[in-house]
Structure formats: C-alpha cells, structure tokens
C-alpha cells in the first residue's frame, strides 16, 4: 500500500491566497493587519522561519516587522519591547520565537504578551480558553494539523488519536483540538511505556517529538493518517554544507503502511506560517470589532 501524500505546501498556499483577499478587503476599510516577530539570538534555523514569516506576511498584504535582538539581551529589555508592542495599535500580533537563549525566562516573556495579541496562543489565558472550549487564539501548528486532518477525514468523531509529545506549543494544544473534535485522545511522551504499541492503536498519529525518523513503519496501524510535525536537520553528507531536513517519522518506510501522511519539508511547516497569518488577521479583526465571514 502507498499512502496519499497530504500536500501542506499547496494547502498553505491556498489558505494564504484566501487571506490575501480578506486582507485586501480590510485594507479598503483602513485596517492593515500587523505582525511583530521577536527573534533573540542568531539561531540559523530560527532565522529561516522568521524570514519566511516576513515574506509570506508581506505577500498577503500584511505588515510584518521583525525585531532582531542580540543573544545577550537582558530580560528587562525584552520585557520592555513586549510592553511597547502591546501598546502599539498598528501591531495586532506578537510572536516571540522560541526557544530563547539561555538566561532569558520564556514563561515571563509569554505572560507579558497581551493575550489579545498572542498569535502563538501560548499565554495561559489562551491556553485556558482553548481547554475550556471558549474562543481563543489557538497555536498555529496544531491549527494547521487540524485543517489537514479535517480536509482528509471530514468528521473525526470517535477516532483514536495519539499525539506523541506534550509541549505547550504543540502536543498539549493538539490534544485539546482533537478532543474538541470528539477523538479519543492519548498523549504520549518520553516516559510512555511501549510507545510503538501505543502508536499502533492510532487511527490518527501526530508526531511532535524532535527525534529524526523515530517512528518506523511497524509503529503505524495500516491505513492510519500520519501527521509529522518534526523538523530535524540531519548532519551534512561529506562535501555538503547543509544536512537533509527530516521529520519524526521514517517517511519512506511509513508511506507503505499509512493511509495518508504529511511530508517534511512541505507538510506541517508551511501550514504553521499560514495559520500564523490567519491568527494575525483574527486578532486585527477582534481589536477593531470586525466579525469575519
């Protein structure tokens, strides 16, 4: 059996095209959604994502400003920047790229972000609202995963969903969204016993671990839908300057067993950025009392 490829890149391009139309309409009413991305330090992978976010925001007709700060930035200076952005009416969304360099307290930074501008959905107000079934800004990566799952499967009611990973940015909100969609949800992590057997029970398997190709073909129920969130850079082959980008799933093996699977690159990653733009439009509309169609 060969799995259907879930084309996140094409799905994301379609979502961005719809957003560009919506943004053009808002601009006609004098509202230009604005996103501020804060990048502390020089992590090369983060620089790639931040450039990609800036470019795609601009293509959708939005304003995106990246604030690049040195790794030695003091906590108080970072908090002062967040407060400035909170008070700036042209900024509707604030995203602080994680992880932060050692010495900076990510939790304190997240708490400082105005929940109404928290387009990452990381503030406890948004996380709590999501868990309580109250409208919230929802973390972008899980939102993107849900869009692809609904597109592929329609109604998810009753499906056994296994999420591997329990981070605040990915695993926990993913589990909340699957639960809200009436899946039976299992959240697995580094202490889970017999992880391969747990994964094999999944009709929907979401991998957000950060371990290259950890999930092999024999961990997958035949016909399952597999969403691979992992972004792992392998060491470069001799003579190459950059290693290959791979997910947490052994794609070549898994595609012979799964019913459908997202590739890396070209799967979840592009959807994350499209959903970030969507959250920014959402935040801009709410701030201006505009209801979206």
Ligand X SMILES: Nc1nc(=O)c2c([nH]1)NC[C@@H]1CN(c3ccc(C(=O)N[C@@H](CCC(=O)O)C(=O)O)cc3)C=[N+]21
Is 157 annotated in some ligand binding site? Answer: no
| CA atoms of 168 and 189, how far apart (whole Å) | 13
For ligand X, the nearest residue by Cβ is 269
Please identify, using beta-carbon distances, which residue of 64 and 272 lies nearer to ligand X: 272
Is 94 annotated in some ligand binding site? Answer: no
The reply to whether 184 sits near Mg ion by the rule CB under 5 A is no
User: 118, 120, 203, 248: which is the annotated catalytic residue?
Assistant: 120
Q: How far is CA 63 from the centre of its chain?
A: 20
Q: Is 53 a catalytic residue?
A: yes
Chain positions contacting ligand X, by CB under 6 A: 48-49, 52, 95-98, 120, 140-141, 169, 231, 245, 264-266, 269-270, 272-273
The reply to whether 121 sits near ligand NDP by the rule CB under 6 A is no
Provide, rounded to whole angstroms, the least separation between the CB of residue 193 and ligand X: 28
38 binds, among ligand X, ligand NDP, Mg ion, none (CB under 5 to 8 A by kind): none
Other Cβ atoms within 10 Å of 169 Cβ, number: 18
Q: Is 97 a catalytic residue?
A: yes
Give the tokens for residue 41: 């330090």
- Residue 164's DSSP bridge partners are 188, 207
Please identify, using beta-carbon distances, which residue of 167 and 288 lies nearer to Mg ion: 167
Is 165 annotated in some ligand binding site? Answer: yes
Give the tokens for residue 131: 């868990």
| CA atoms of 76 and 74, how far apart (whole Å) | 5
Give the residue, chosen from 73, 184, 232, 288, that forms a contact with ligand NDP under the rule CB under 6 A.
232
Residue with tokens 């309580």: 132
Please identify, using beta-carbon distances, which residue of 112 and 159 lies nearer to ligand X: 112
The reply to whether 167 sits near Mg ion by the rule CB under 5 A is yes
Size of the site for ligand NDP (CB under 6 A): 25
- Cα(first)–Cα(last) distance of the chain, in Å? 40
Q: How far is CA 59 from the centre of its chain?
A: 19
User: 7, 75, 76, 97: which is the annotated catalytic residue?
Assistant: 97
CA-closest candidate to residue 39, choices 58, 65, 62, 57:
65
Q: Where are the alpha helices (DSSP H) in the chain?
A: 8-28, 44-59, 75-87, 106-112, 124-132, 140-153, 171-180, 195-200, 251-254, 268-287
Write out the binding residues for ligand NDP, residues 161-190 only, by CB under 6 A: 164-167, 169-171, 188-190
Instruction: Please tell me the number of Cα atoms within 13 Å of 72 on its side-chain side.
Output: 0
Identify the burial level of 197 via C-beta atoms within 10 angstroms of its C-beta, where 0-12 means exposed, 13-18 middle and 19 or more buried: exposed
Is 8 annotated in some ligand binding site? Answer: no
Residue with tokens 């016993």: 193
- Residue 93's DSSP bridge partners are 35
Q: Is 242 a catalytic residue?
A: no
Provide, rounded to whole angstroms, the least separation between the CB of residue 69 and ligand X: 14
Task: Return residues touching Mg ion (CB under 5 A).
Answer: 167
List residues binding ligand NDP (CB under 6 A): 141, 164-167, 169-171, 188-192, 195, 208-211, 229-232, 268-269, 272
Annotated binding site for NADP(+): 165-167, 231
Residues with active-site annotation: 53, 97, 120
């Amino acid at each position: 059996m060969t799995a259907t490829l879930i084309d996140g890149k094409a799905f994301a391009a379609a979502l961005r095209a719809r957003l560009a139309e919506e943004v053009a309409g808002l601009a006609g009413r004098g509202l230009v959604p604005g996103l501020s991305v804060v990048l502390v330090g020089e992590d090369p992978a983060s620089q790639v994502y931040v450039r990609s976010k800036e470019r795609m925001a601009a293509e959708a007709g939005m304003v995106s400003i990246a604030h690049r700060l040195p790794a030695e930035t003091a906590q108080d200076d970072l908090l002062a920047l967040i407060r400035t952005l909170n008070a700036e009416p042209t900024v509707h969304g604030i995203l602080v790229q994680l992880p932060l360099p050692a010495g900076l307290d990510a939790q304190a930074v997240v708490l400082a972000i105005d929940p109404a501008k928290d387009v990452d959905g990381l503030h406890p107000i948004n996380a709590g609202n999501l868990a309580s079934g109250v409208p919230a800004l929802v973390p972008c990566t899980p939102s993107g995963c849900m869009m692809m799952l609904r597109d592929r499967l329609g109604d998810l009611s009753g499906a056994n969903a296994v999420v591997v990973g329990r981070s605040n940015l990915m695993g926990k909100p993913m589990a909340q969204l699957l639960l809200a969609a009436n899946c039976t949800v299992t959240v697995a992590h580094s202490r889970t016993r017999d992880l391969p057997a747990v994964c094999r029970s999944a009709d929907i398997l979401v991998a957000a671990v950060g371990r290259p190709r950890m999930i092999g073909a024999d961990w997958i129920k035949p016909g399952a839908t597999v969403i691979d969130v992992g972004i792992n850079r392998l060491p470069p082959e001799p003579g190459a300057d950059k290693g290959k980008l791979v997910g947490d799933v052994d794609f070549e093996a898994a595609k012979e067993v799964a019913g459908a699977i997202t590739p890396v690159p070209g799967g979840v990653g592009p959807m994350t950025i499209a959903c970030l733009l969507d959250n920014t439009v959402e935040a801009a509309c709410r701030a201006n009392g505009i209801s979206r169609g």
